[in-house]
Amino acid sequence: MAGEGVERHRPLGGAWLAVFVLLTLAGLWLAINQLFNLRFFVGFVLLENRYLYLLLATFLSCTFLLFPAGKQTGAKVPWYDAVLFLAAFGSSAYFAWNGERMVREAWEFQAPAPAVGVGVILWLLLLEGARRTGGLALALILLVFSLYPVYAGRLPGPIAGFSLSFFDTIRYQTASVEAVLGIPMRVFGNLLVGFILFGAALHVTGAGRFFTNMSMALLGTVRGGTAKVAVVASGLFGTMSGSSVSNVLATGVVTIPAMKRTGFRPEDAAAVEANASSGGVLTPPVMGAVAFVMASVLATPYVYVAAAAAVPAALFYLSLFLQIDAYAAKYGIRGLPREELPSLRKSFREGWFYVLAFGLLLFLLVYLRQEALAPFYATGLLLVLAMVRRDTRWTASRALGFVVSTGQILVELVTVLAAVGLLIGGLTVTGVIGTFTSDVVRIAGGNVTALVVLTAVACFILGTGLTITASYIFLAIMMAPALIQQGMNPMAVHLFILYWAVLSEITPPVALSVVAASGLAGAPVMRSMMEAMRFGAVKYALPFFFVYNPALVLQGGTPVLFLEVVVAAVVGLALVAYALQGYLPWIGTLNNNPLGYAIRSVLTGAGLLLALPERWTTLIGLAVASVVYGGGALLWRTGWLPLVQPEAPAGVKMPNPGR
């Protein structure tokens, strides 16, 4: 899932590894008992708040074992982390023990003094856990917003709110179902655990290798084939794992060296893989953790969110594919010889059970609507079928790796989701959300486009310093109501915010997918991030297509309208992709001079015009593109537009431009 660490985990061993494994298994057992209603706790009522606090006890505590306080990642757990581990376990367990009493006595408003003291400890531990897992920027923002009720009454107009004392704020933050136990934690406890388990099982059994081999067999020989393999393999694996970093690590170990071998610079190979892998968070049916949060915010079944995300995900991968094709044509990058590629038949024979498990997951999700239980059944089938082949068969070491990798994801996810609940609690209890929405609409003068651009800018700024989940939740609370109030489709608005939040995966300084990919490519991290932004430029434009045309996310409209907007989106994104790379099919590589840049700019603008909802803007965009494209072809044919090769990237031999 998004937000996973990249070489940030402390390599646990000995007794601490045993503690970590036992707590991970205990947390999984709690989830299975709750979701399948097995009633292991005879004579003991496991209310939802008690269940979630127990999950917090098992996973938040492990944060201080798994994530060191600084950059030192030695295997030894220092004494202070052991103390924090015990404090996190004890404070969460205290609230779990008092679960019934909390409900009966309304602790969110009148918790006793001892509970407030324990709440202060839990609040501090959540902030420190957020710092270790999500970074200092996330921790500072959560600190400011978790204490927002303390000073909200002294703030000016639009951001003023109802005030509480510090201790009343702590009561609400740690005991309310709108704060630490808010939507993010409830989504985790009721939906996410099984999908994390399924993604970890795929990773450990080698699904990344299967999808990469299949993609290599299909596309390895074509122009820029190794990069196109990265797009297809990461897209296929991403549909199952929903994790950007796991996607990079699973498929990038094969695709990145292959890209470098065929002529891609290391930073370009890292950028392509990071973009392709980050799309997994946006690709149904699994997607990322934030998609499940979105379903809860919209109060709609997750399967509807997955269905709405299908067409935009396909458009994203298509536009990335076209941009890679333009890059490969521009620099003459060819594919690999057929004899060096795996056999399609052999690859499928070695991994057919992944397809079967995927099919079961889809059947249970779409047909039976078993959202919470479907991934558990699919994981069970995968674990059994993996025993068929020797190289995927379960061994003691593989089973241990499965539990450890699952625990690592769960620990980080629980810590971030519970900590982000502090932000929700601070904004909810002050009542600032409603007034902020009306103020934003007034500031924008009721202009929908201004609101959309303002939301995109806010997402971009937050995404450069926060995880996907944190930036999405903040904007979903603060900005989405304003857009919906102006008549925009709720599903399209929330997907718009999700897409812009996912940009944190390729945008400095977070860009965890790029960090992982650059490590595999041996490329400078910052240079890789800059290239990732360039290759992902279409991802910045795509959300505008479906926020203005909700038919793209299956919201209303006729089949004819859907076909119109899909065709317009494909043409528009293709124009943007090829113009950004400076290569035009059937013409060639554009000159790096004012005329060449002018043509690229006009074609980019024409492509973006196709995003607007009005039919006349679509016609103008198509007319401009046709005139410029046709004029460019005519100028080239008559010799007025010479196709001068730009300077080749280091290490790339430059033949004539592809046609």
Mapped onto helix, strand or coil, the DSSP state of residue 583 is strand
The residue that leads in pLDDT, 631 or 542, is 542
- In the chain, the amino acid numbered 177 is V
Residues 178 and 425: beta-carbon distance below 8 Å = yes
Q: Which parts of 396-503 fold into alpha helices (H)? A: 396-430, 432-443, 448-463, 468-478, 480-485, 490-502
Mean pLDDT of 557-574: 89
CA distances from 67 to 203, 253, 254, 298 (A): 21, 25, 28, 33
Mapped onto helix, strand or coil, the DSSP state of residue 431 is coil
DSSP 191: I
Residue 28 is predicted with a pLDDT of 96
Match 């390895």 to its residue by tokens: 220
H or E stretch covering 252: helix 244-262
pLDDT surpasses 90 at 92: yes
Residue 87 is predicted with a pLDDT of 97
Q: Which residue, 646, 612, 605, 642, is CA-closest to 627?
A: 605
Per residue, the 3-state secondary structure of 37-93, as one string, reads: CCCCCCCCCCCHHHHHHHHHHHHHHHHHHHCCCCCCCCCCCCHHHHHHHHHHHHHHH
Mean pLDDT of 198-224: 88
Residues 463 and 135: beta-carbon distance below 8 Å = no
The residue that leads in pLDDT, 442 or 94, is 94
Who's near 480: CB < 8 A, 6+ residues apart?
Answer: 455, 490, 493, 494, 497
Token output for 167: 């201790």
Residue 642 is predicted with a pLDDT of 59
DSSP 462: H
Mean pLDDT of the chain: 86
Who's near 51: CB < 8 A, 6+ residues apart?
Answer: 30, 34, 189
H or E stretch covering 589: strand 588-589
pLDDT surpasses 70 at 653: no
CA distances from 172 to 189, 296, 425 (A): 20, 21, 7
446: left (phi over 0), alpha (psi -120 to 50) or beta: left
State the Cα–Cα distance between residues 569 and 561, nearest whole angstrom.
12
Mean pLDDT of 37-58: 84
Who's near 387: CB < 8 A, 6+ residues apart?
Answer: 393, 394
State the Cα–Cα distance between residues 137 and 58, nearest whole angstrom.
25
Handedness of CA 146, 149, 150, 156 (dihedral sign): positive
Q: DSSP 3-state helix, strand, coil percentages of the chain (rounded to 5)?
A: 75, 0, 25
- In this prediction the pTM is 0.86
Residues 138 and 130: beta-carbon distance below 8 Å = yes
pLDDT surpasses 70 at 654: no
**Model confidence at 153, in pLDDT bands (50, 70, 90)?**
confident
State the Cα–Cα distance between residues 303 and 364, nearest whole angstrom.
10
Helix 244-262 with 512-521: angle, nearest 10 deg: 40
Q: Which residue, 86, 55, 89, 81, is CA-closest to 185?
A: 55
Domain ranges of the chain: 14-183, 559-659
